Amino acid sequence: MTVELVVSALPGELRAAVLRDDVLQDLVILRDDAAPQAGDLFFGRVQRFDKGLDGAFVDLGLERPGLLASRDAPDGLPPEGGTLAVKVVRAPAADKGARVSAKTLDLDPAVLKGLTAPTRLPAGAAPLKALFAASRPQQVVADDAALLRALKSDGGDCNFLLHSGALALFEARGLEETVEQLLGPRAELPGGGFLLIEPGQTLTAIDVNAGRHDGRGGQAAQAREVNLAAVPVIARQLRLRALSGLIVVDFLAMKGPEDRKAIAAALRKAVADDPEPCQVFGISPSGLLEMTRRRGRVPLHELLCRPCGLAGSGREKTPETLAYEALRHTAAEALGKVVTTITLRVAPATAVALEGPQAAARSAVERRLGRAIEIAGDPLVAGHELVLG
């Protein structure tokens, strides 16, 4: 099996994909301004102890303090008001603070000198190095020379390539289309079936559908075959979409208890290597299965999109997401071309992002191209339009 790590970076955003035999197996998108997720580092201040929880609440500078269990503080819990560096092991949710740990931080103490708690520490290349160590790729392809050098220091027997093609790296590898599909509700199954995946505030619902499955062997055989085909796809989709919490899967109904047990067992096996612990419960006669998955990373749809429509029932890409997309396309399209002007026409909200939060990313692309990028806000543009003059 060939394992490849594909890395694309702009100031403020890093995207990394693990491919096994050219099939996407893991996707990590990190943003400096995103909600905290597993692996993020903070310099926090102890607020108070809780004997019932056998730990302390640590002010991280977030809406809610993080919980540090005493077992996760190898040097002991500091006194109230004391400071320490911690790592997020469970991302905060809507009604819960983060779970943090002071174990295995691999942090230079000099980084903390002069800092005032609470503050978020820069991640640097640490998350990418962790993904590199976990995936053990034979080849790394990146569009950022500095990140490539950082990985080479841990490289061993690995091939490193710097991408400089006419297409943006993720687009050249077909990954942009995959990310778009992950933002939608539908995931295809082998044999013609499909999943409908609907994340909600209280749970994620997954509906298994037979679709165009040929149905040979009768209804019972079809249900078993479609359900078995759905199992590895469910495990993969949960990981790629970073879905967590309570998950309810509506499998096709199966009459035999042995078939239901077999599906539950297959799903337990499929999620066994998930980096976030999963617990799979039994399946009812009607086909409903409940499971849980620990919240590690921010769900993909929350990171890249925002609520829209009636009572926030829909989703649309955030201006920041659209800004990064426009910059990646501009960098790839204009690189190496003789042009005098570069104009990027975008929606007004995206223009604000490019002038503000994503200004550093825009400047990096301008330095790469050797030209300034003129931003033109246009309410008639949904995505972006690039004009080279």
Burial of 120: CB neighbours in 10 Å, binned 0-12, 13-18, 19+? middle
CATH tag, 41-121: 2.40.50.140
Gyration radius (Cα) of the chain, Å: 23
Q: In 116-271, which residue ranges form alpha helices assigned H by DSSP?
A: 126-135, 145-152, 169-172, 175-182, 219-241, 257-270
Q: How many CB atoms lie within 10 A of CB 160?
A: 15
Q: Give the separation between CA 276 and CA 294, rounded to whole angstroms.
A: 5
Is the Cβ–Cβ distance between 7 and 140 less than 8 Å? yes
Residue type, 206: I
Residue type, 246: L
Listed in sequence order, the residues at least 6 apart from 294 whose beta carbon sits closer than 8 Å to its beta carbon are 90, 244, 276, 277, 278
pLDDT for 34: 79
Residue in the structure block whose two tokens are 């300034």: 372
Give tens-digit pLDDT for 60-69: 999 899 999 9
> Cα angle vertex 224, ends 222, 228, to 5°?
115
pLDDT for 131: 85
Q: Give the separation between CA 263 and CA 241, rounded to whole angstroms.
A: 22
Q: Which of 278, 265, 201 is nearest to 236 (CA)?
A: 278
The torsion angles phi and psi of 101, rounded to 5 degrees, stand at: -140, 150
Q: How many CB atoms lie within 10 A of CB 348?
A: 13
Q: Spelled out in words, what is the top-level CATH class assigned to the domain 3-34+125-177?
A: alpha beta
DSSP letter for each residue of 273-304: T-SS-EEEEEE-TTSEEEEEE---SPPHHHHH
Which pair of structure tokens corresponds to residue 3? 């394992």
pLDDT for 215: 59
Burial of 111: CB neighbours in 10 Å, binned 0-12, 13-18, 19+? middle
Sheet architecture: strand order including 342-346:
373-377, 342-346, 384-388
Burial of 389: CB neighbours in 10 Å, binned 0-12, 13-18, 19+? exposed
Q: Give the separation between CA 376 and CA 384, rounded to whole angstroms.
A: 10
Residues of the chain whose pLDDT is less than 50? Answer: none
Going from the C-alpha of 307 to that of each of 201, 298, 312, the distances in angstroms are 12, 15, 5
pLDDT for 336: 77
Which pair of structure tokens corresponds to residue 56? 């302390």
Q: Which of 236, 250, 243 is nearest to 201 (CA)?
A: 243
Burial of 57: CB neighbours in 10 Å, binned 0-12, 13-18, 19+? buried
Same fold? 3-34+125-177, 41-121? no
Domain extent listing, the chain: 3-34+125-177, 41-121, 183-293, 318-388
DSSP letter for each residue of 319-345: HHHHHHHHHHHHHHHHTT---S-EEEE
Long-range contacts made by residues 301-305, C-beta under 8 angstroms, separation at least 24?
A: 301/183, 301/199, 301/241, 302/35, 303/29, 303/31, 303/34, 303/35, 303/242, 304/29, 304/179, 304/183, 305/183
CATH tag, 318-388: 3.40.1260.20
> Cα angle vertex 45, ends 39, 48, to 5°?
110
Q: Give the separation between CA 373 and CA 81, rounded to whole angstroms.
A: 47
